[in-house]
Structure 1
């Protein structure tokens, strides 16, 4: 069950009566420990949620499926009233998936200007699917 507010998404509220919620909570605990371990080793919090996903094939037939925008997020365990896992939007702007467009550039012989990436970054914060689609159709 996922509940959403503007800056926070509740991913799971594990209960002993619900085995599935306990399995999800264990997986989230493992992910959380991994994230924290990497952050402690490197000093960098590098955790993103990608949305929306694009999929298709490139001109050479290579299949791709990748997020258009990675959004910086934090995974937190909230124990206020009852334990629950929360995904919070982190400070920082969403980005355009430059790796995806680098692959498109290389395999489809397309080029993208810095202006393209700046426009896309501005669109990422608007959460408007129709606007994203219109922008991508231009290119």
Structure 2
């Protein structure tokens, strides 16, 4: 496998040096232009999205009082183990209960609402 000089690959041709790229005309300046149609993201806390008497708070209060230990027993992600953390069963139950009260029966519609509707965002509490 070695050439006559005893070096590995010494029989391969040596490539010529690359020629310098031709000089180009000066490129246009890159600047940031105003886009007044851009939606702004403004920081806010989820707690301030809903009034104290909002029905989503009632649903959450109900769910907090339930024994969800059978649902927790089925979760395989555990502390010290690998894998992604599961979503708390309280969140999922509260979302479905509130969606049912609101007449939402579609999982896709519920997923959309969790991104845009304040009550559903509040129930998710920042969990995606």
Q: Which has the higher strand share?
A: 1
Larger-gyration structure (1/2): 2
So what's the TM-score if we normalise by structure 1? 0.23
So what's the TM-score if we normalise by structure 2? 0.24
